[in-house]
Structure 1
Amino acid sequence: MGRAFAASIQKEREVVFNQNYLAKCQVSTPHNVAEWAWSKVNEFRPEKVSKVLDLGCGDGRFSIYGDFENYNGIEIDPKHERIQNLPANVKINHDCALLTQFELHDLCIGNPPYVRHHDMDSTWRDIIANQLSETSGITIDRRANAYLYFILKALLSTKRDGIVALIVPFEWVARPSATWLRDFISSNGWSVHSYKLSDSTFPRVLTTSSLSIIDKSTTSSKWFYYRVNDDFTVTTIKSPSESSCKVLKYSKRHKDLFANRGLSPGTQKIFCLTEFDRLHNKLKIGRDVSPCVTSMKALKTDVKILTKKVFKESYVKSGARCWLIRSDKPLSKELKIYLDCVHEDERNTSTCNNREIWYKYAYPDTAQLLLSTGFIAKAPQVIENAIGAKAVGSVAGIYMAKPLPMRKIANYIRNYNFENRIVKHAGKLRKIEINQLNTVLQYALSNFRSQ
């Protein structure tokens, strides 16, 4: 390893050892879950395990429930307290697990950190991704959450007939940002058993968790799914969506009718203002800001058209962030003053930092329909965009390149059974991916053209 690269690695170790990072990813595994996880491992490996690796061991609690010869725990936070009187065959080192090279272990177990790609330092992320790609021979999707890097690291750090058992979000079995990892696992013939945990397991966590076991001793490439009840009884389920239907496939956009994700300006706290913020900073509608929708929670479920009246009552008067900063054209004096007063810490996001001018972004087109990508009903809420509001964040835009029956398309979406074809995100909440939505839009288009 060259000196320059080694120095870069050391710098990125320091980036990771900071309270902001640690605050985002430290969630301790309940003791009963750690003990149950070992019981499932024992079903696959009933004999005593020789060498165990834990890539984010925290206080070392996974080490007190297993039968093994040696336990190698890695914990990035040197201030994390350990469980008292750990066995003599348990060693915990403080380092960045993803940057450490390990000899091969028989088992990798634990609960790796959950950090969105937006919250990871981009330089550190690229170093990690490049290093893991070089070792594995695969290309890593840079949209991947940190826990996906840890799954890959676990696979690379276990023997050819080893086993990996990690507490990770259940959604990885279907999300497109994990396709590269699922393909890597399947190409090696390894089998996956994903146990979907009840929402009460991690009450503070907003995503549905799972114990995912990857058995490297097999050549079947089979995937199995289970639902775990509060008493840890296990029920087999047919698919990640828990129905007999296959998970909704992903399709590229059609030129005539397609969906786009909502704008991610950098941080809504700066770029999406309330009515009070707009008036306080003397910003004018049209010149400095334009209407936007960042969430549909404020709307009644029977609202089908976003009119000026609905927008005013549901967003403007309620104090919602509904005015999008316009930085696509020369700034007015008032808008420049507002942006100049934004503290550097407030705009310290990867999106803002990667721009030549931190606040200047490509102004989005106006969608004919707006759709909430998160939903708990049979289908997501969709509304006609009569006021030309911009789709931001979790609100997707549906665009029509030529005149189409907009109202019929909206009704098709409302009547489509998403419930059985989308993996639950947390509790009753489901989230549809943009290219899954594009699949439904293509179904709608085919339906209308066949009539």
Structure 2
Amino acid sequence: MVRTIETHDLVEDRRLTLQTELDRHKTQIERNKFGQFATPTRLAQEILAYGLSLLPENKAIRFLDPAIGTGSFYSALRATHGQRPVAWACGFEIDPHYGEPAQEFWKTTSLDLTLADFTRQEPPTHDEAKSNLLICNPPYVRHHHIDSIDKRRLQNAARDAANIEASGLSGLYCYFLALSHKWMSEDGIAGWLIPSEFMDVNYGKALKAYLLREVTLLHIHRFDPNDVQFDDALVSSAVIWFKKQKPPASHQVTFSFGGTLRQPALIRKINTDELGRTNKWSRYPKRGAESTHTGYRLGDLFTIKRGLATGDNNFFILDEKRALELNIPSQFLRPILPSARYVKGDEIMADSHGVPLLEKRLFLLDCVLPEHEVQHEHPSLWAYLQTGREQVAQRYLCRSRRYWYAQERRPAAPIVCTYIGRSDHDGKPFRFLLNHSQATATNVYLMLYPSSLLMNRLQTDPTKLRTLWHALNTLDHTVLLDNGRVYGGGMHKLEPRELSNVPADDLAAMVGLNGKNPKMQMEFEVMTAP
């Protein structure tokens, strides 16, 4: 037995050496574009061992990996199946750079490795020719790397194979999962190592509907994002386990987080009826069900918008010295906040012109005059614009404007919030900044404008804004994290709608909004207005 384990270890060492050599001849950009990130050995073996535990012991293993690479999961199968018979094992690999060396490496084994695009293959028709153990780390190719013709083909195939109405924003991994449905035998087990973002984003709705209606979802394990599973891909990972059979009534799904599949840090069972009503599955198992909160939310107190997208920050955002050197007229320069790392405190003071009193003073170039007026009346500005005509002006965002150098309207907001934060950053992943300046902000910030409901209170007592700002910075950070989305390395992101959804009864009470729900309060104030 010891000699067998040693043999597996030696084989795996040689495969890892091959993997490293092949990766070395691919650039990081190429690997990102094609989603080529091999599964680490320890993780692959953990996944295979868990998958085998879900498969009845009297069943011979029929193994399939639709995106096999150099065979990390097949190697793990050989190391973990023990005395259980393997009827057959097969895999597909689209890239000859990995597939041909892998074929050579495994040629003395029973693995049938086919060099082909899995999404274009015809599935077997007989159940015994289908897999009862499908394990895959599919390519994480983002939707913008899939051309429109191929995307339509994949959407039609997903609908036909698994009744999944895939969004055009779906990554390639969603199509792999959908198309694999017809390659699985009835009662077969599937384990998918995929980005956990599907649990929260809009394009994940179709995938979640499939997991609830077409198969029996068994277990979703989400890895702690501070423990990135892939050293070279900033992706927060989850393992999805399901059986190919319609779900029974009142079925419960195991959700776990952190640790390992067999020894997670947190674990909880959730009824599928509850999952069907929940938009963000990443709440589980940490926070329980999505809040049915009917009181105030931050969106009732603030209109929350992303900061502006300039089209090219390097061209449109100038520091004070550069703006003077170029002799840009002041009427075309709006103060704009620098990155949060240049804002030392959480309160931004301003000079008499509304410019932030910060070490890094930046200005946004913004002009709404037509080109002929700029050319004749502001020659220095015209000269600078000509330096961006060939490249900056041709960018998609700039081309879509009336004048390519005119920015969208984003007035200064009294409170801004950082858009991305780390969960291990002193327990404070997001910062709320009180902005006394006239500076707008880029899309690395969320901008909080008081709603009409709140504005009525602030007109009576402007000091309430400072009270709310303090309260925002003392919010339980887990509430913010659970409403946002998470990426690898502990990176969290909040979209405007997600921040708007944070419960805010305590904050509403601070400005005298208590005892009524927001809709009733608004109707009451309209009726009693002078």
TM-score w.r.t. the length of structure 1 is 0.76
Equivalent residue letter for 1:34 = A
Contact 2:346 2:434 in 1 (8 A): no
**1:17-66 superposed Cα distances (whole Å, 9 cap, x missing partner):** 99955443222111121111110100111445554332322112212222
Map 1:257-272 → 2, pairs under 5 A: 257-264=302-309, 268=313
Cα distance, 1:98–1:433 mapped onto 2, change above 3 Å: farther
8 Å Cα contact 1:53/1:105 also seen in 2: yes
Give the letter for the 2:305 counterpart. Answer: N
**Residue 420 of structure 2: aligned partner:** 374
Q: Does 1:210 align with 2:238?
A: yes
Tell me the distance in 2 between the aligned counterparts of 1:120 and 1:189: 27
Residue 234 of structure 1 is matched in structure 2 by 264
In structure 1, the gaps of 5 or more residues are: 1-16, 317-321
Q: Equivalent of 1:140, from 166, 188, 205? A: 166
Contact kept, 8 Å, 2:139 with 2:172, in 1: the verdict is yes
Partner residue, 1:201: 229
Relative to structure 1, the CA distance from residue 339 to residue 176 in structure 2 (aligned partners, 3 Å threshold; closer, same or farther) is same
Q: Using the alignment, how far apart are the partners of 2:313 and 2:172 within structure 1?
A: 23
| Residue number in structure 2 paired with 1:52 | 63
**Preserved CA contact (<8 Å) 1:74 1:97:** yes
Q: Please point out which of 420, 425, 431 is paired with 2:493.
A: 431
SS at match of 1:65: helix
* Counterpart in the other structure of 1:339: 388
Q: Which SS does the other structure have where 1:147 is aligned?
A: helix
2:123 to 85, 93, 102: 102
Moved more, 184-193 or 132-141: 132-141
Cα gap change, 1:430 to 1:127, in 2 (>3 Å)? same
Q: Determine whether 1:153 maps to 2:179.
A: yes
Q: Which residue of 2 aligns with 1:74?
A: 92
Q: Does 1:64 align with 2:66?
A: no
Q: Distance in 1 between matches of 2:239 and 2:360?
A: 40
Task: Give the stretch that moved more between structures: 266-275 or 386-395.
Answer: 266-275
2:46 to 22, 33, 36: 36
Is the contact made by 2:170 and 2:204 (CA closer than 8 Å) also made in structure 1? yes
> What percentage of residue pairs aligned between the two structures are identical?
18
Per-residue CA distance 1:239-279 (angstroms, 9 max, x = gap): 84553454568999957733223444556556556667767
Q: Check conservation: 1:328, 1:363, Cα contact below 8 A.
A: no
Alignment partner, residue 12 of structure 1: none
Q: Does 1:385 align with 2:450?
A: no
Tell me if structure 1 keeps the 8 A contact 2:38–2:72.
no
Q: Deviations over 1:196-226 (max 9, x none)?
A: 3351532333232222222333614533222
C-alpha distance 356-299 of structure 1, shift in aligned 2 (>3 A): closer
Name the SS of the counterpart of 2:46 in structure 1: helix
Aligned residues: 424
Separation (CA, whole Å) in 1 of partners of 2:120 and 2:368:
40
> Are 1:297 and 2:341 matched, yes or no?
yes
2:379 match: none
8 A contact 2:213–2:247 mirrored in 1: no
Matched, 1:414 2:473: yes
* RMSD between aligned residues: 4.1
Partner of 2:176, secondary structure, is: helix
Deviates more, 1:44-53 or 1:270-279: 270-279
**Cα drift, residue 71 of structure 1:** 3.2
Q: Which amino acid aligns with 2:445?
A: V
**Residue type of the alignment partner of 1:418:** H
Aligned position for 2:286:
243
Give me the whole-angstrom Cα distance separating, in 1, the residues matched to 2:442 and 2:156. Answer: 31
User: SS of 1:143's equivalent?
Assistant: coil
Deviations 1:1-23, CA, capped at 9 Å, x for gaps: xxxxxxxxxxxxxxxx9995544
Letter matched to residue 434 of structure 1? P
Q: 2:205 aligns with which of 165, 168, 179?
A: 179
For residues 121-150 of structure 1, give each alpha carbon's deviation from its aligned partner in whole angstroms, at most 9, with x where no partner exists: 455445433542455444333333433333
1:264-306, Cα deviation, whole Å (9 max, x unpaired): 455655655666776776655652x544457423333x41336
Distance 1:290 1:442 in 2: 33
| Cα separation, partners in 2 of 1:200 and 1:312, compared to 1, 3 Å | same
Q: What SS is found at the alignment partner of 2:189?
A: strand
Given candidates 224, 228, 236, the residue that maps to 2:254 is 224
SS at match of 1:195: strand
The one-letter code of the counterpart of 2:231 is: P
Secondary structure of 1:114's counterpart equals: coil
Normalized per residue, the structure richer in helix is 2
> Which has the higher mean CA deviation after the structures are superposed, 89-98 or 251-260?
251-260
Aligned partner of 1:31: which letter? T
Matched, 1:190 2:211: no
CA gap of 1:383–1:29, structure 2 versus 1, over 3 A, is same
Q: Structure 1 residues 279, 34: CA separation in 2 closer, same or farther (over 3 Å shift)? A: farther
Question: TM-score, with normalisation over the residues of structure 2?
Answer: 0.66
1:395 to 445, 460, 475: 445
In structure 2, what residue type is equivalent to 1:334?
A
| SS in structure 2 at match of 1:210 | strand
Give, in angstroms, the shift of residue 437 of structure 1: 0.8
Which residue number corresponds to residue 106 of structure 2?
85
CA gap of 1:270–1:427, structure 2 versus 1, over 3 A, is same
Letter in 2 for 1:392: T
Greater displacement, 233-242 / 65-74: 233-242
